[in-house]
RNA sequence: AGGACUGUAGCUCAGUUGGUUAGAGCGCAUCGUUGACAUCGAUGAGGUCGGCGAUUCGAAUUCGCCCAGUCCUACCA
């Protein structure tokens, strides 16, 4: 083995072997355990959030697989309608073409070509992370079987009247020329203006002033509204306004939606271009005048002067004209929420179009109940509130998109404008008796990508066919995802799966935190603070990192800033930490917190941890390979240390198992870390050395220790494997043959997980070794504080030695002498005082290091004074508690007894300290 | 406006149903290299647990208010 752990040299080979041997497939035996991978966008690449969630999913999958469950991780990608279309369209644009030059059919086949070439980025990256999904079942939402499911769901919902078509106001992205759902619109505050406009009454009897943030929409105004009880405007209700610029007559109406307190109390109403106005228009039966084209230019419903102008140019022109006519009263600065498309960043227009909708109310009801009655549990539980809040206010879902890439809506129109929905044109003709001469054309639109994602839990299992997988893996065990897609995806899956299978899609939903940068800022390309998980695995030099972060930046100023920050934060670039260290970091950070600030320091720490495991293993192998480890037979004599480490390991197994069951990967990681480093490496390996290296220990003792070394390590590797798959399997391949395991042609990943075994715990051995540790630490303490060289052998005296202390001393003296670097150990006779010494207390026993020639009087007095000070403070607190009548009267017996013991112990310590102080002062 | 979350050592975070002498890693200080590991070891310094109040014999932990920060949903033209 190399002297330091080199992740790069082991990872690839390891992964290839696993995949080739088919270890990722469900075994077919045991309890079903299934996780659905939230399908990443096919155009996407692995970001820190993915890496985090995939680590957690893989840890769960590996854990359950090892536990013997029939474990399936269903993976795949989604077709990401808008994103994918944009990627390929951009490639065409680079060649001076648009998708219209190709036509729909050719464009779609271009996308498939692109997918075949570049659609596998993220799955390749997942392999680098060591994830173990069943790649043979990898699904893609545009595959035939999934498309078939999509069509089936659409037709069935339509037959039940749950899908309908209607002309409604939708969120229109004028760059993409498509409707988008509410969830795809981001509302951000931006600086803008409020224009106050004077609208004259038609009869010339007066005027009123309206305020607007979008003056250009006045071309489509069809009313002005006031509050019905607003006294200022009572006389105006029912009168008509002569709308400036257009000259159209529009009514003044009363509606209590209007806030009389806000602005002037008069609101211009543009039903075709504002969601609130739209509702009001419906209430009052107002005409809806659309004034925009698909590109958000002014259309022919507007006066000629403005036709063809872009909406923002039109705004300037209209404001200028209104001003010239004296209509503009004033302009104020005003911050307002501007809706922008999450893909394009374009300002979204409320726009009147024909679209398809899912009526979600009846679907939502069982989906809400499934969470209310506990069938589906959120972890942490709080997220159910977020879920309810949205589900109780759920709006019909606009599912049509004016794109070419996606599942085409299975609806056909005849020339008379009738709509027929069916699985194919033939089916439609047959069902509705439409003869061949009658032309039918299919709807041009496709479905929202999330529509197909919503079917993921059952469509990937073969639905609508009745497959064994549908029985076995629906519901899946747990969904691991971020809170940002509870609405987009989680809620919709619950609705659809309930509807079409009658079952819930998953029993638990583990909501992970969001990975942020070390300052708590969201990682984003425009901030330039993104980290690529692969760069943390492989490392990256500074220059490529800068190029990567600033590449494609449109604003040079921003790029300069990002470059500066990057150079400052990573002057040496990023080290290669390896997959296991990265995964361990993610696990260790997976607490219940909703925000996770990613700290490079921790990755480095866990890389060191990997190295620690590596070197500990190296030590174990050096002492077991080519030695008798008692794997077949041979007498084993276990030392106290052997029994102790076995005991500690059992407790660690119990802790890790509990933590894994509660999705507390941070606690699981911490237990593994603590045991490995602070118990196994710091103590047990040291304790084993005297046994292995001494000529005085018997073969049975040596065999016992070797057996414990190799077997504890072997089990520790299994315990850690779900989190750190590569290093554990690599080491295990060498370790397992030295144990009783049949380790030919296998892998740790298909070995059983370790189980807590109470018969292997040993409280006495545990107590004995803790005693030993205290003695050693006591001596080291004195060494450290007295500045005695570690190499200097010390003669130690023990005072107040009880029978139990004597027993422990006898059992551990050899190791004690070695680990504390002692010259001699002398037990003082009862009543014997001993020379002036620096002293450490272990229970009531005093460990004394005589001062002669070694210890500085003043330093030792200072040390004692410090200890006295600390004990006195604690004593005062405990004394106070015990003096409190209420405490003694009401606290449970056990608690009081504990306080009393504590006090007695402290009193004992204090008197010993005082005694020592007196002795030393007397020198 | 409504809802959720966070505030513990210089930094990143644990702290289970109230009973600890409030912990870990990193960082810091001092010392240390003859083979498991300097990606290391030993020792140490460092916290009025955001603030105020309440409940309780007892609060980092429960409740109320306040301060600071984050996020989500809905929005006023």
Distances from the Cα of A184 to the Cαs of A180, A181, A320, A323, A462, in angstroms?
6, 5, 34, 36, 29
Q: Distance of alpha carbon A216 from its chain centroid, rounded?
A: 44
A619 Cβ nearer than 7 Å to chain B strand:
yes
Report the pLDDT averaged over residues A797-824. Answer: 92
Q: Can you tell me the distance from the alpha carbon of A429 to that of A412, in angstroms, rounded to the nearest whole number? A: 10
Residue A274's nearest nucleotide, by CA–C1', is: B77
- Nucleotide B12: closest residue by CA–C1': A599
A358 Cβ nearer than 7 Å to chain B strand:
no
pLDDT on residue A342: 83
Residue A211's nearest nucleotide, by CA–C1', is: B77
Would you list the DSSP string of A135-203? GGG-EETTSHHHHHHHHHHHHHHHHTT-EEEEEEEEEEETTTTEEE-GGGEEEEEEEEEEEEEEEEBTT
- Nucleotide B18: closest residue by CA–C1': A891
Tell whether omega for the bond before A475 is within 30 degrees of 0, i.e. cis. yes
Residue A521's nearest nucleotide, by CA–C1', is: B70
pLDDT on residue A581: 95
Report the pLDDT averaged over residues A311-323. Answer: 92
Would you list the DSSP string of A789-806? -TTS-EEEEEES--HHHH
Look up residue A606 and give its DSSP letter.
H
A874 Cβ nearer than 7 Å to chain B strand:
yes
Residue A884's nearest nucleotide, by CA–C1', is: B57
Residue pair A274/A281 in contact (Cβ under 8 Å)? The answer is no
- Return the closest-CA partner of residue A445 out of A474, A471, A415, A407: A407
Report the pLDDT averaged over residues A857-874. Answer: 84
The helix, strand and coil proportions of chain A, stated in percent and rounded to the nearest 5, come to: 50, 20, 35
Strand B proximal residues, A:149-188, Cβ < 7 Å: 182-183, 187
Please indicate whether residue A205 or residue A294 has the higher confidence score (pLDDT). A294
Residues near A719 by beta carbon (within 8 Å), at least 6 away in sequence: A652, A653, A656, A672, A753, A754
Please indicate whether residue A426 or residue A867 has the higher confidence score (pLDDT). A426
A879 Cβ nearer than 7 Å to chain B strand:
no
A335 Cβ nearer than 7 Å to chain B strand:
no
Residue A484's nearest nucleotide, by CA–C1', is: B72
Least confident of A73-77, A855-859, A900-904: A855-859
Task: Please give the angle made by the CA atoms of A464, A468 and A469, to the nearest 5 degrees.
Answer: 75
Residue A677's pLDDT band, with cuts at 50, 70 and 90, is very high
- Nucleotide B5: closest residue by CA–C1': A594
Q: What percent of chain A has pLDDT over 90?
A: 65
Strand B proximal residues, A:481-540, Cβ < 7 Å: 484, 487, 518-520, 522
Q: Can you tell me the distance from the alpha carbon of A629 to that of A739, in angstroms, rounded to the nearest whole number? A: 8
Q: Can you tell me the distance from the alpha carbon of A820 to that of A776, in angstroms, rounded to the nearest whole number? A: 5
Q: Can you tell me the distance from the alpha carbon of A22 to that of A12, in angstroms, rounded to the nearest whole number? A: 16
A601 CA to B47 C1', in Å?
A: 22
Phi-psi group of A433: left, alpha or beta (phi > 0 → left; psi -120 to 50 → alpha; rest → beta)? left
Residue A336's pLDDT band, with cuts at 50, 70 and 90, is confident
Report the pLDDT averaged over residues A819-834. Answer: 90
A810 CA to B34 C1', in Å?
A: 30
Tens digits of per-residue pLDDT, A243-258? 988 889 999 999 888 8
Kindly give the pairing relationship between strand A349-358 and strand A163-173. Answer: antiparallel
A793 CA to B30 C1', in Å?
A: 21
> If 0-12 CB within 10 Å is exposed, 13-18 middle and 19+ buried, where does residue A625 land?
middle
Tens digits of per-residue pLDDT, A763-801? 999 999 999 999 999 999 888 888 888 888 899 999 999
Kindly give the pairing relationship between strand A223-226 and strand A266-269. Answer: antiparallel
Residue A268's nearest nucleotide, by CA–C1', is: B77
Which segments within A544-626 are labelled E, that is strand?
A: 595-597
Report the pLDDT averaged over residues A753-762. Answer: 94
A590 CA to B68 C1', in Å?
A: 25
A257 CA to B75 C1', in Å?
A: 12
pLDDT on residue A444: 94
Token representation of residue A291: 């004034």
Tens digits of per-residue pLDDT, A93-124? 999 999 999 999 999 999 999 999 998 999 99
A887 Cβ nearer than 7 Å to chain B strand:
yes
Per DSSP, the three-state class of A655 is helix
* φ, ψ dihedrals at A144, nearest 5°: -55, -45
A591 CA to B15 C1', in Å?
A: 12
A675 CA to B24 C1', in Å?
A: 13
A224 CA to B63 C1', in Å?
A: 50
* φ, ψ dihedrals at A632, nearest 5°: -100, -55
pLDDT on residue A558: 84
Look at residue A922 and tell me whether its pLDDT is greater than 90: no
Residue A629's pLDDT band, with cuts at 50, 70 and 90, is confident
Look at residue A526 and tell me whether its pLDDT is greater than 90: no
Per DSSP, the three-state class of A564 is helix
Strand B proximal residues, A:653-682, Cβ < 7 Å: 664, 666-667, 670, 673-674, 677-678, 681-682
A625 Cβ nearer than 7 Å to chain B strand:
no
Q: Can you give A848-861 as a three-state secondary structure string?
A: EEECCCCCCHHHHH
In this prediction, the answer to ipTM > 0.90 reads: yes
A340 Cβ nearer than 7 Å to chain B strand:
no
A337 CA to B1 C1', in Å?
A: 15
Strand B proximal residues, A:749-788, Cβ < 7 Å: 777, 780-781, 783-785, 787
Give the number of other Cβ atoms within 10 Å of residue A371's Cβ: 20
Residue pair A111/A48 in contact (Cβ under 8 Å)? The answer is no
A594 CA to B70 C1', in Å?
A: 10
Strand B proximal residues, A:413-472, Cβ < 7 Å: none
Least confident of A260-264, A537-541, A694-698: A260-264
Residue A440's pLDDT band, with cuts at 50, 70 and 90, is very high
* Protein-contacted positions of strand B (CB under 7 Å): 2-6, 11-15, 19, 21, 24-27, 30-33, 35-45, 56-58, 69-77
A728 CA to B33 C1', in Å?
A: 29
A616 CA to B26 C1', in Å?
A: 22
A260 Cβ nearer than 7 Å to chain B strand:
yes
A869 Cβ nearer than 7 Å to chain B strand:
no
Strand B proximal residues, A:566-605, Cβ < 7 Å: 589, 591-597, 599, 601-602, 604-605
Residue pair A676/A609 in contact (Cβ under 8 Å)? The answer is yes
Residue A520's nearest nucleotide, by CA–C1', is: B70
pLDDT on residue A205: 85
Would you list the DSSP string of A220-285? G--EEEE-TT-GGGGGGTT-EEE-TTT--EEEEEE-TTS-TTSTTSEEEE-TTS-HHHHHHHHHHT
Tens digits of per-residue pLDDT, A322-334? 999 888 889 988 8
A86 CA to B55 C1', in Å?
A: 60
User: Long-range contacts: A591-597, Cβ < 8 Å, 24+?
Assistant: A591/A513, A591/A664, A591/A666, A592/A380, A592/A664, A593/A513, A594/A483, A594/A513, A594/A514, A595/A513, A595/A514, A595/A516, A595/A520, A596/A52, A596/A513, A596/A514, A596/A515, A596/A516, A597/A516, A597/A517, A597/A518, A597/A519, A597/A520
- Nucleotide B57: closest residue by CA–C1': A887
A267 Cβ nearer than 7 Å to chain B strand:
yes
Token representation of residue A616: 């500990």
Token representation of residue A660: 């894994």
A615 Cβ nearer than 7 Å to chain B strand:
yes
Strand B proximal residues, A:28-47, Cβ < 7 Å: none
Per DSSP, the three-state class of A872 is helix
Report the pLDDT averaged over residues A309-314. Answer: 92
Please indicate whether residue A725 or residue A843 has the higher confidence score (pLDDT). A725
A789 CA to B30 C1', in Å?
A: 12
A379 CA to B55 C1', in Å?
A: 30
Residue A890's nearest nucleotide, by CA–C1', is: B57
Angle between helix axes A579-589 and A48-66 (nearest 10 degrees) is 90
A587 CA to B26 C1', in Å?
A: 17
Residue A677's nearest nucleotide, by CA–C1', is: B37
| Residues paired with residue A482 on neighbouring β-strands, in sequence order | A512
Q: Can you tell me the distance from the alpha carbon of A777 to that of A683, in angstroms, rounded to the nearest whole number? A: 11
Tens digits of per-residue pLDDT, A367-399? 999 999 999 999 988 899 889 988 998 889 999
Kindly give the pairing relationship between strand A419-421 and strand A411-413. Answer: antiparallel
Residue A522's nearest nucleotide, by CA–C1', is: B70
A71 CA to B17 C1', in Å?
A: 34
Residues near A186 by beta carbon (within 8 Å), at least 6 away in sequence: A339, A340, A341, A342
- Return the closest-CA partner of residue A686 out of A562, A777, A752: A777
pLDDT on residue A905: 87
A819 Cβ nearer than 7 Å to chain B strand:
no
Give the residue carrying structure tokens 């057996």: A707
């Amino acid at each position: 083995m190399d002297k330091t752990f080199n992740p790069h040299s082991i990872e690839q080979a390891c992964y290839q072997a696993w995949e080739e041997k088919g270890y990722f497939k469900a075994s077919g035996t045991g309890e079903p355990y299934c996780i659905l991978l939230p399908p990443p966008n096919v155009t996407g690449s692995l970001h820190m959030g993915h890496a985090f969630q995939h680590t957690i999913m893989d840890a769960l999958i590996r854990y359950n697989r090892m536990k013997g469950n029939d474990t399936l991780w269903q993976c795949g990608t989604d077709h990401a309608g808008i994103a994918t279309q944009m990627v390929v369209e951009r490639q065409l644009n680079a060649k001076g073409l648009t998708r219209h030059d190709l036509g729909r059919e050719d464009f779609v086949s271009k996308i498939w070509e692109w997918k075949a070439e570049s659609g596998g980025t993220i799955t390749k990256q997942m392999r680098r992370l060591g994830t173990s999904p069943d790649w043979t079942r990898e699904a893609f939402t545009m595959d035939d079987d999934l498309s078939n499911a999509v069509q089936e769901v659409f037709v069935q919902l339509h037959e039940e009247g749950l899908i309908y078509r209607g002309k409604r106001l939708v969120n229109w992205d004028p760059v993409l020329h498509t409707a988008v759902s509410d969830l795809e619109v981001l509302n951000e505050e931006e600086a803008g203006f409020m224009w106050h406009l004077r609208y004259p009454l038609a009869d010339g009897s007066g005027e009123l002033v309206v305020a607007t943030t979008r003056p250009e929409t006045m071309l489509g105004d069809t009313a002005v509204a006031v509050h019905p009880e607003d006294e200022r405007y009572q006389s105006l209700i029912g009168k008509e306004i002569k709308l400036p610029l257009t000259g159209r007559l529009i009514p003044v109406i009363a509606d209590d939606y209007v806030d009389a307190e806000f602005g002037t109390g008069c609101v211009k109403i543009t039903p075709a271009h504002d969601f609130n106005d739209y509702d009001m228009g419906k209430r009052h039966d107002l005409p809806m005048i659309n004034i925009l084209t698909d590109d958000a230019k002014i259309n022919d419903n507007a006066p000629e002067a403005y036709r063809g102008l872009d909406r923002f140019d039109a705004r300037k022109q209209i404001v200028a004209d209104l001003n010239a006519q004296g209509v503009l009263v004033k302009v104020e600065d005003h911050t307002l929420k501007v809706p922008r498309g999450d893909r394009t960043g374009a300002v979204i227009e409320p726009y009147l179009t024909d679209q398809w909708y899912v009526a979600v109310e009846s679907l939502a009801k069982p989906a809400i109940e499934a969470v209310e009655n506990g069938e589906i549990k959120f972890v942490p539980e709080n997220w159910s509130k977020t879920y309810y809040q949205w589900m109780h206010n759920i709006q019909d879902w606009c599912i049509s998109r004016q794109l070419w890439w996606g599942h085409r809506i299975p609806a056909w129109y005849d020339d008379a404008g009738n709509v027929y929905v069916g699985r194919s044109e033939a089916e439609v003709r047959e069902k509705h008796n439409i003869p061949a001469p009658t032309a039918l054309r299919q709807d041009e639109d496709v479905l929202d990508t999330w529509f197909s994602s919503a079917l993921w839990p059952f469509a990937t299992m073969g639905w609508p066919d009745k497959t064994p997988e549908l029985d076995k893996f629906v519901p899946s065990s747990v969904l691991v995802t971020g809170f940002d897609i509870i609405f987009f995806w989680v809620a919709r899956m619950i609705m659809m799966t309930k509807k079409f299978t009658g079952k819930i899609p998953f029993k638990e939903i583990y909501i992970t935190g969001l990975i942020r940068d070390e300052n708590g800022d969201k990682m984003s390309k425009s901030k330039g603070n993104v980290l690529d998980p692969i760069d943390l695995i492989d490392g990256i030099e500074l220059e490529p990192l800068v190029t990567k972060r600033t590449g494609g930046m449109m604003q040079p100023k921003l790029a300069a800033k990002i470059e500066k920050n990057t150079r400052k934060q990573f002057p040496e670039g990023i080290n290669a930490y390896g997959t296991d260290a990265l995964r361990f970091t993610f696990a260790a950070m997976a607490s219940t917190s909703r925000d996770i600030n990613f700290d490079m320091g921790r990755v480095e720490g866990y890389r060191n941890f990997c190295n620690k495991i590596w070197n500990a293993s190296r030590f174990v192998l050096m002492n077991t390979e080519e030695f008798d480890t008692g794997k077949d037979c041979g007498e084993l004599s276990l030392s106290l240390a052997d029994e102790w480490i076995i005991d500690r390991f059992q407790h660690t197994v119990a802790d890790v198992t509990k933590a894994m069951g509660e999705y507390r990967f941070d606690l699981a990681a911490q237990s593994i870390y603590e045991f490995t480093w602070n118990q196994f490496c710091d103590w047990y390996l040291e304790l084993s050395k005297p046994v292995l290296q001494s000529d005085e220990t018997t073969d049975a003792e040596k065999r016992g220790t070797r057996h414990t070394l190799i077997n504890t390590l072997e089990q520790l590797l299994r315990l850690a494997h779900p989190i750190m798959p590569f290093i554990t399997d690599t080491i295990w391949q060498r370790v397992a043959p030295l144990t009783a395991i049949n380790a030919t042609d296998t892998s740790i990943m298909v070995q059983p997980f370790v189980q807590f075994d109470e018969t292997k715990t040993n409280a006495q051995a545990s107590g004995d070794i803790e005693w030993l540790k205290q003695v050693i630490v006591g001596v080291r303490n004195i060494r450290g504080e007295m500045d005695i060289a570690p190499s200097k052998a010390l003669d130690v005296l023990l005072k107040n030695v009880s029978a139990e202390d004597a027993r422990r001393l006898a059992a551990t003296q050899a190791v004690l002498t070695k680990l504390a670097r002692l010259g001699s150990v002398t037990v003082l006779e009862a009543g014997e005082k001993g020379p002036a010494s620096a002293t450490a207390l272990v229970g009531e026993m005093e460990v004394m290091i005589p001062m002669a020639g070694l210890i500085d009087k003043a330093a030792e007095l200072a040390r004692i004074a410090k200890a006295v000070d600390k004990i006195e403070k604690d004593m005062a607190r405990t004394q106070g508690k015990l003096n409190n009548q209420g405490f003694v009267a009401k606290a449970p017996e056990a608690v009081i007894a504990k306080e009393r013991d504590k006090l007695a112990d402290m009193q004992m310590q204090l008197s010993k300290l005082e005694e020592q102080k007196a002795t030393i002062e007397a020198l």
